[in-house]
Amino acid sequence: MLVDEAHATGVLGANGHGTMEHYGLTGKADIVTGTFSKAVGAIGGYVCGSKKLTQYIQYSSRPYIFSTAPFIPSMVAAHEALNIIEEEPAIRAKLWENITYTRNRLKSAGFNIGDSETSILPIIIGNDYKVKEMAYRLHEANIYVNPVPYPAVPRKQTRVKLTVSAEFSVQQLDYALSQIELIGRQLEIIN
């Protein structure tokens, strides 16, 4: 079994260890992958597994073969961020308050947000033009989102991705959500 912890590290699990901890499956996967670019706020990623499997990946992976060593300050930052994730559960509690608040507002406005269980929430639109236009208009309102058009996802699943942070205030969330709702109505994504 392969588990990608990219969206779960720092968010899911009693200690922020991700999907495996959240579902009580720690140590059950053959291979675990993840990134430091989401909740950890650094650059880099990881692949964990048996020595034999990770060596195979290491020696047969073109991106690995032609890459350089990780940037040490980024690795130090990732290490410190992982320590903070474990040692300061109040940050994760605040994150979950913000996730729940954002999810509830989006659902009550009529957006299709799928069933994400992490801080990365999709607004599923199913129309490439509207995805790109919504992202553009939100960027103009100083709200950064990621458009995800076809072929990154199936045509009917094109979306805009929001990333919720523990650092956002309710006022910041309200501003962003009011702009999302306004643009959603303008583009006839919601009524």
Do 76 and 148 fall within a single domain? Answer: no
The model's pTM is 0.87
Reference 34, options 118, 138, 95, 102; nearest CA is 118
Residue 52's pLDDT is 95
Do 96 and 166 fall within a single domain? Answer: yes
Answer whether residue 191 is part of any domain: no
Residue 149 tokens read as 């058009």
Do 49 and 30 fall within a single domain? Answer: yes
Residue 66's pLDDT is 78
For the chain, the 3-state helix, strand and coil shares in percent, each to the nearest 5, are 45, 15, 40
Per the structure, the complete domain to which residue 127 belongs is given by 89-186
Task: Domain count for the chain, please give it.
Answer: 2
Using an 8 Å Cβ cutoff, are 148 and 160 in contact? yes
DSSP three-state, residue 160: strand
Do 15 and 54 fall within a single domain? Answer: yes
Do 62 and 103 fall within a single domain? Answer: no
| CATH number for position 153 | 3.90.1150.10
Using an 8 Å Cβ cutoff, are 9 and 38 in contact? yes
Residue 75's pLDDT is 92
Do 45 and 97 fall within a single domain? Answer: no
- Over the chain (191 residues), what is each successive 10-residue block's mean pLDDT? 93 93 94 92 90 90 81 93 94 96 98 94 97 98 97 96 96 99 98 90
Using an 8 Å Cβ cutoff, are 184 and 109 in contact? yes
Which one of 87, 111, 137 terminates a domain? 87
